[in-house]
Amino acid sequence: MSGPLTGLRVIDYTGPLGQLAGKLLADMGADVVAIEPPAGSPARAVGPFVDDVPGPDRSLNYWYHNTNKRSVIVDLTAAEGVAAWKSLVAKADIVIEDCAPGELDTVGLGHASLRPAIDSLIWCSITPFGQTGPWASYQATDMVGLALGGPMMMNGYDAEDVPGAPPIRGHGDQGYNTACHYAVQGILAALLYRDKTGQGQHVDASMHEACSSTTEVGLPYWFTQRKNVIRQTGRHAAAQRTEPWLHMAADGRHALIFGVGRDNASWKRIKEWFQADGFGKQLDEPRFDEPAARQPGRGSPEAAEVMSELSRFIAAHSADEVYRGGQERRQSWGVVRAPSEALGDPHWEDRGFWTEVSGEGRDAPVRMPGAPYAFSATPWELRRPAPKLGEHTAEVLAEWLT
């Protein structure tokens, strides 16, 4: 093993909410043991499944979220399982669980019951709303987390595009995975503290709070001006309507334009590009010289005129021409791609981003995202695919407990 967390032992007792946290640690080299009841983690019941046939070892969602882990069956309702859990916890550096607050402690198996006796243990609890407060016992799905946390209200369409359109939930377990990323940050910080003091601690990770911290301008606008931002098609929510960022190109695809000539050097290059094709002749007028006058979202007539001319220019070119031409002029512009187009981009291949895993019902490897970041000294490594249910029970018990 070569990851930066090699040597750490982690117990992962999670379902759909918390499973990514263990994966991130496992992919960085930690020995992550997924503790599962005899019927398996609830995450194994989340589709899609290989050939649309459900089964504990056929969930593609599980395959992705559980690489590099080992699976051990422990029945916490049986005396033997309780003893095994306590023994494994005593050998662990980190425990990650996403049970309801107090659920494990009611049977003497939670952080309040076990962690105080193990000074160095770091225990991370990932829950919808945290361990305390009036919502602590409330239930939530990924969608509920995004709704109550704020991100959903900020995503959707302009009223002019889709009158009466509701908020939009982003897919991809964004609420769950945001909570897990924050949980891992907390765990790594706790590890730094333990390195200095020898003391572990309890990390209380709330999906609600994690999602709320990602609402960008939403919270500052409310705190400072008591304004709610409004949803906008394909661009940031804002306190007032801003000019569109999506523009239809000549080939029927959309180009996404983030800013136009925010500095005078790039503005000069953009003007020359437009004018070489017969667009934007008026942009040489002095009223366009100040960056603030031509920036979208400020309500100036110059900004509206710049965006109008930009839209005409894009309509006369392919989306790829606009994207690459904008990038050449140091602009954050891109093409709105379908998943198939994004997956076919050679940039992923050049970066070595993809990895391939296999499992029950699929001998040919399935392509999935690989390393989320690259380490120069401790490379990311796919040591094993997601485990089959109970695949490593005997192996782990022998390693950890003898």
Question: Which tens digits make up the pLDDT trace of 339-390?
Answer: 888 888 899 999 999 999 989 998 888 899 999 888 999 999 899 999 999 9
8 Å CB contact between 291 and 263? yes
The C-alpha atoms of residue 313 and residue 319 are separated, in whole angstroms, by: 11
> Which H/E stretch holds residue 322?
helix 319-328
Q: Mean pLDDT score of the chain, rounded to an integer?
A: 94
Query: Strands, E, within 278-329: which ranges?
Result: none
Tens of pLDDT, residue by residue over 167-203, are 999 888 999 999 999 999 999 999 999 999 999 999 9
Can 254 be counted among the known catalytic residues?
Answer: no
Buried/exposed code over 139-163 (b: 16+ C-beta within 10 A; e: otherwise): ebebebbbbbbbbbbbbbbbeeeee
62 burial (CB, 10 Å; 0-12 / 13-18 / 19+) is buried
Q: Which two tokens stand for residue 341?
A: 């187009």
Torsion of CA 227, 232, 237, 243, to 10 degrees: -90
Q: How confident is the model at residue 159 (pLDDT cuts 50, 70, 90)?
A: confident
CA atoms within 13 A of residue 350's CA, in its CB half-sphere: 3
171 burial (CB, 10 Å; 0-12 / 13-18 / 19+) is exposed
Q: Exactly one of 202, 236, 247, 392 is catalytic; which is it?
A: 236
Q: Percent of the chain beyond pLDDT 90?
A: 84
Q: How confident is the model at residue 166 (pLDDT cuts 50, 70, 90)?
A: very high
The C-alpha atoms of residue 261 and residue 276 are separated, in whole angstroms, by: 17
Tens of pLDDT, residue by residue over 293-337, are 888 877 889 999 999 999 999 999 999 999 999 999 999 999 999
Whether residue 55 has pLDDT greater than 80: yes
